[in-house]
């Protein structure tokens, strides 16, 4: 099968491209900067419809993993990469006759800040989604799933909290903050959260590609199916990475307030021309909510529809993380 993978500069896109190639698929990757993978490569902006259509020509399937995932930024940047990017992928698939599209989404597209306790994949809800990232991904998923029909089979996979060795998003941030002593436990730290070891997410995307026609038109939440108290999970990640686990507790209302203040401050700085682009903020309201409320999912439908089960357990994943951290 000839497969185009967008966003191979990210951990998930990259490892998915490698996994597909390893099993014998003919893989092309598309992203802005060279990936360093020994695969056919197109360097392009995913929002550039004609480049994407050109790249997609001759492919049987597309795995669309490219996205802006930063915790802060301007809405127009999220909108361009996540919404327009998805639109150009969908149009490209239609224009050149691609048969399958696996869209990488996020469980945050369907949730509005309340605790998520064993929920399934509710429909994406752009107006209720919290923050630019979740809102733009919600719109993107709607665009993708609306394109399902006729010769093009589309489904959306929503992995929850992907982590693994080499992760520059979750793990790197936790480790960096823990090392700097800037990582508090929000609330009691007992909120139960799902997470996904990266290889399991990769397997799920490969499985989704194979089941794209029978499972088409719908979204599937993917996780390890091993929810853990968020404080314990972060502690385990810190220990595996060789940094001190957080001890300081911050009550949720304080964290949420601080997060909200940060949202305002960062937005202001981004809006002012001439100032240097800021790095990651200490905490956003979205993050404070994510750290203080339960987020775990019913995996039964996903597992039967995609014929997939997580291969690497949480404990095995942590061992891998520790091995990578030890160098």
Partner 1 sequence: MSLPAAPPATVWPGLDPVWSRRVVAPDAGGVPRTWHLLDNGAAPEHGTLLCVHGNPTWSYLWRRVIAAAPPGWRVVAVDQLGMGLSERTPPRTLAERVDDLANLTKALGITGSVVTLAHDWGGPVSLGWALAHREQLVAVVLTNTAVHQPPTAAAPSLIRMARTQGVRQAVCVATPIFVRATTALSRPALPRAVREALAAPYASPAARRAIGDFVADIPLDPSHPSVVTLDAIAEGITGLDVPALLLWGPRDPVFSDVYLRDLLSRMPHADVHRYEKASHLVIEDAPRVAEDVWRWLGDLVPQADPSVRSASSPPGPVRERSGGGDPPGAAAPLWGALSARVGDHATAVVELGTHERRVSFDRLERTVRDLAGGLVATGVRPGDRVALLVPPGADLTAAVYACWRTGASVVVADAGLGVARMGRALRGAAPDHVIGIARGLVLARAMRVPGRLVAAGLLDGASRRALGAPLGLADLVRLGRGRPLPPTPEDDAECAVLFTSGATGPPKGVVYRYGQVRAQLEALRTAYGLTADDRLVAAFAPFALYGPALGLASAVPDMDVTAPGTLTAVALAEAVSAVSGTVVFASPAALRNVVATANELSPRHRAALDGIRLLISAGAPVPLTLLLDVQGLVPQAELHTPYGMTEALPVTDVSLAELEAAGPGEGICVGRPLPGVGLGISAFDDLGGVEAGPTTRPAVSGEVLVRAPHVKDHYDQLWATERESSRTTGWHRTGDVGHLDDDGRLWVEGRLVHVVRTASGPVTPVGPEQRIERLDGVSMAAVVGVGPVGTQQVVAVVVPSTGARPGLAGPELAAAVRSAAGVTVAAVLVVKDLPVDIRHASKIDRARVARWAARVLEGGRVGRP
Q: Which residues are catalytic?
A: 133
Closest CB to partner 1 among residues 40, 313: 313
Q: Which stretch binds partner 1 (CB under 8 A): 25-33, 73-81, 207-215, 230-238?
A: 230-238
State which of positions 112-131 bind partner 1 (CB under 8 A). Answer: 115, 117-118
Cα distance between residue 300 and residue 206, in whole Å: 18
Considering only 164, 225, 246, 259, the residue that binds partner 1 (CB under 8 A) is: 225
Minimum distance of partner 1 from residue 97's CB (angstroms) = 39
Q: How many residues sit close enough to partner 1 to count as binding (CB under 8 A)? A: 28
Closest CB to partner 1 among residues 94, 130: 130
Run of H or E residues at 192: strand 192-193
Cα distance between residue 192 and residue 232, in whole Å: 9
b/e per residue, 263-288, with b = 16+ CB within 10 A?
A: beebeeebeeeeeeeeeebebbbbbb
Question: Does 299 interact with partner 1 (rule: CB under 8 A)?
Answer: yes
Which two structure tokens, joined as six digits, stand for 184? Answer: 């508090």
SS3 content of the chain, % helix, strand, coil (to 5): 45, 15, 40
State which of positions 232-261 bind partner 1 (CB under 8 A). Answer: 232, 235-236, 239, 245, 252
Per-residue contact flags (x/-) with partner 1 for residues 168 to 207, judged by CB under 8 A: -------------------xxxxxx---------------
- 242: region left, alpha or beta (phi > 0 left; psi from -120 to 50 alpha): left
CB 4 within 8 A of CB 28: yes
Cross-strand pairs, 185: 249
Minimum distance of partner 1 from residue 234's CB (angstroms) = 11
CB 6 within 8 A of CB 46: yes
Q: DSSP readout, 267-315?
A: HHHHHSTTSPPP---S--HHHHHHHHS-EEE--HHHHHHHT---SS-HH
Closest CB to partner 1 among residues 159, 231: 231
Q: Which stretch binds partner 1 (CB under 8 A): 24-32, 63-71, 140-148, 221-229?
A: 221-229
Minimum distance of partner 1 from residue 25's CB (angstroms) = 31
Q: Could you list the residues that contact partner 1 (CB under 8 A)?
A: 115, 117-118, 187-192, 225-229, 231-232, 235-236, 239, 245, 252, 292-294, 296, 298-300
């Amino acid at each position: 099968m000839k497969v185009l993978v967008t966003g191979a500069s990210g951990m998930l896109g990259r490892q998915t491209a490698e996994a597909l190639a390893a099993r014998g698929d003919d893989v092309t990757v598309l992203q802005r900067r060279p990936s360093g993978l020994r695969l056919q490569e197109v360097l392009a902006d995913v929002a550039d419809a004609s480049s994407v259509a050109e790249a997609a020509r001759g492919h049987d399937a597309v795995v669309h993993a490219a996205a802006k995932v930063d915790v802060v930024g301007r809405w127009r940047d999220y909108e361009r990469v996540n919404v327009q990017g998805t639109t150009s992928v969908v149009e490209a698939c239609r224009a050149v006759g691609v048969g399958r599209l696996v869209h990488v989404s996020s469980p945050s597209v369907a949730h509005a800040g309340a605790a998520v306790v064993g929920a399934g994949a509710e429909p994406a809800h752009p107006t209720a989604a919290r923050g630019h990232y979740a809102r733009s991904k919600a719109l993107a998923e709607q665009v993708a799933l609306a394109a399902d029909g006729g010769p093009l089979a589309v489904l959306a996979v929503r992995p929850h909290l992907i982590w693994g060795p080499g992760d520059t998003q979750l793990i790197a941030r936790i480790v960096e903050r823990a090392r700097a002593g800037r990582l508090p436990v929000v609330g009691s730290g007992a909120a139960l959260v799902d997470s996904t070891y990266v290889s399991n997410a990769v397997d799920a995307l490969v499985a989704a590609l194979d089941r794209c026609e029978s499972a088409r038109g719908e979204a599937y939440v993917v996780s390890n199916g091993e929810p853990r108290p968020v404080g314990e999970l972060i502690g385990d990640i810190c220990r595996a990475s060789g940094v001190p686990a957080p001890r300081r507790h911050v009550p949720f209302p304080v964290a949420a307030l601080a997060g909200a203040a940060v949202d305002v401050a960062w937005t202001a700085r981004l809006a002012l021309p001439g100032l240097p682009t800021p790095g990651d903020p200490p905490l956003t309201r979205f993050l404070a909510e994510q750290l203080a409320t339960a987020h775990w999912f019913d995996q039964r439908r996903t597992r039967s529809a995609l014929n997939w089960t997580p291969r690497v357990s949480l404990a095995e994943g942590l061992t891998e993380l520790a091995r990578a951290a030890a160098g």
